[in-house]
Chains A and B, each alone.
Chain A
Amino acid sequence: MLLSAVIIILREVLELALLTSILLALGKQMKISARWFFFTLIVGLVGAWIYGVNTARISEWFDYTGQEVVNGVSQIIIYLLLVMMVFITHLQSAIVKRITPWIMALSVSLLITREGSEIYIYLSGFVQSEQFSSVLVGSVIGASIGLSVGALFFYILSYKEDQLRYFVGMCMLSVIAAGLLAQSVPMFMQADIIEASPPIWDSSFLLNEQSLIGQLVYAVAGYEATPTLMQVLANIFGLCAILALVFVPIILNEKGFLNKKASDDV
């Protein structure tokens, strides 16, 4: 039970820790104060508690598909917020500094609400059980590993301000955001909102989704060993849209189409 708790909590925390650390590092590169994070943490934790307590009721919405609808829509909203954030980084600095912390705060608090509610539900299921102590120890270990990975990435991406770190951060952000978008597809299929389709390949022999690495890659990048066409398209589209917003202005600038250098805002 201890190992199971480590993996479950690590999976929930890792995606959140990585997204938060990337946004904090990018914010630092853009000279944006990190005050938004403390506000976000409180809002997200309160949101997680409210969602966790009301999950049974929410699940009954839309003919018992409320959970999929709420989670799927919130993941799409997070993706759109991240797209918006990347887009405005190429605008003038004053606007960037005013709007960006709000976008970061909203996206991270939505993710804390979603992942935090699952942790709350998981732990609440064992409160009365004899296994609670081992589940709690496993959860603390899992959360610690996830937060440590997040802290490590924050340090790597932010200890020095340069373009390479900024672009690596943006690429990582694209992968996580595209994963969130792709993960929403099976939720809508599960709720019969999108017509289900058979998987287009099986890459279990390369990376088994049930393995520890497979589960972590799922959490971070939305990896599925047997994805449907729509999931693959969502992932590719999600990735390309953000990468295009990051790199196209730079390419245009180098070719002299833009007066203002995009990286000036960094």
Chain B
Amino acid sequence: MKKYLKTFNVQICLVISLSFSSLLEADVKQFEIRIKDHLFIPDQVVIPSGEKVKLLVINEDASPEEFESYELNREKIIMGNSKTIVFVGPLAPGEYPFFGEFNPKTAQGKIIAE
């Protein structure tokens, strides 16, 4: 009986901790950016200032791209036909350009924190 209670307690703790962590995750707003034909779509993303957000970057091209921003201090390779997550912020209100380092002439965008 004790053994079952112990297992039950562990399960409850697990459920609570998972719910808690998912609640924490839910607090972080997610914004989606797609890479298609070496362009960022959308090329402008408006995010709340003073808040950490999660960028889901989906590369729909077959070739890899590097999401890079000097203003955000972020750089990350996204392989072809794959997706990744980049956390940014909390940011002060303003504009933060980003670009695709492998195709800098076309892959341009900016994050607007307001």
- Which residues of A does B touch, CB under 8 Å? 4, 8, 55-56, 59-60, 63-65, 67-68, 118, 121-122, 124-126, 128-129, 186, 189-192, 196, 198-199, 209-210, 224-228
Q: Is the CB of A64 within 8 A of B83?
A: yes
Q: Is the CB of A190 within 8 A of B86?
A: yes
Q: Is the CB of A196 within 8 A of B87?
A: yes
Known: A198-B92, A226-B70. 17 other contacts (CB 8 A): A4-B104, A8-B102, A55-B64, A56-B82, A64-B84, A65-B85, A118-B77, A122-B64, A124-B64, A129-B63, A186-B73, A190-B88, A191-B87, A192-B52, A192-B54, A196-B89, A199-B73
Which residue on A lies nearest to B65, using beta carbons? A125
Query: 17 pairs across A/B with beta carbons < 8 Å?
Result: A8-B101, A59-B77, A59-B84, A60-B82, A64-B84, A64-B85, A67-B76, A122-B102, A125-B64, A125-B80, A125-B102, A186-B73, A186-B74, A191-B87, A198-B92, A210-B70, A225-B70
Complex alpha-carbon distance, A226 and B84, angstroms: 24
Q: Cβ of B42 < 8 Å from any Cβ of A?
A: no
Q: Cβ of B79 < 8 Å from any Cβ of A?
A: yes
Complex alpha-carbon distance, A64 and B66, angstroms: 15
CB proximity of B61 to chain A, nearest CB, Å: 9
Return chain A residues, CB-CB under 8 Å to B80.
125
Instruction: List B68-114 residues whose CB lies under 8 Å from chain A.
Output: 70-71, 73-74, 76-80, 82-92, 101-102, 104
Return chain B residues, CB-CB under 8 Å to A190.
74, 76, 86-88
Provide the B31-54 mask, 1 if CB < 8 A to any CB of A, else 0.
000000000000000000000101
Return chain B residues, CB-CB under 8 Å to A228.
73
Return chain B residues, CB-CB under 8 Å to A4.
104
Return chain B residues, CB-CB under 8 Å to A126.
63, 102
Q: Is the CB of B90 within 8 A of A198?
A: yes
Return chain B residues, CB-CB under 8 Å to A199.
73
Complex alpha-carbon distance, A227 and B73, angstroms: 8
Indicate whether A63 sits within 8 Å of B85 (C-beta atoms), given known contacts A4-B104, A118-B77. yes
Q: Is the CB of A59 within 8 A of B82?
A: yes
Q: Is the CB of A56 within 8 A of B63?
A: no
Q: Is the CB of A67 within 8 A of B84?
A: yes
CB proximity of A4 to chain B, nearest CB, Å: 6
Which residue on A lies nearest to B25, using beta carbons? A63
Return chain A residues, CB-CB under 8 Å to B66.
122
Return chain A residues, CB-CB under 8 Å to B101.
8
Complex alpha-carbon distance, A257 and B17, angstroms: 55
Complex alpha-carbon distance, A126 and B80, angstroms: 12
In the A-B complex, the 8 residue pairs with the closest CB atoms: A125-B63, A56-B79, A64-B85, A192-B87, A125-B64, A186-B73, A209-B70, A56-B82
Q: Is the CB of A55 within 8 A of B87?
A: no
Complex alpha-carbon distance, A128 and B80, angstroms: 13
Return chain A residues, CB-CB under 8 Å to B64.
55, 121-122, 124-125
Return chain B residues, CB-CB under 8 Å to A60.
82
Return chain B residues, CB-CB under 8 Å to A189.
73, 87
Complex alpha-carbon distance, A63 and B54, angstroms: 12
Question: Given A63, A67, A68, A196, which contacts B52 in the complex, CB threshold below 8 Å?
Answer: A196
CB proximity of A2 to chain B, nearest CB, Å: 12
Q: Is the CB of A68 within 8 A of B76?
A: yes
CB proximity of A23 to chain B, nearest CB, Å: 26
Complex alpha-carbon distance, A126 and B88, angstroms: 29
Return chain A residues, CB-CB under 8 Å to B54.
192
Complex alpha-carbon distance, A189 and B104, angstroms: 24
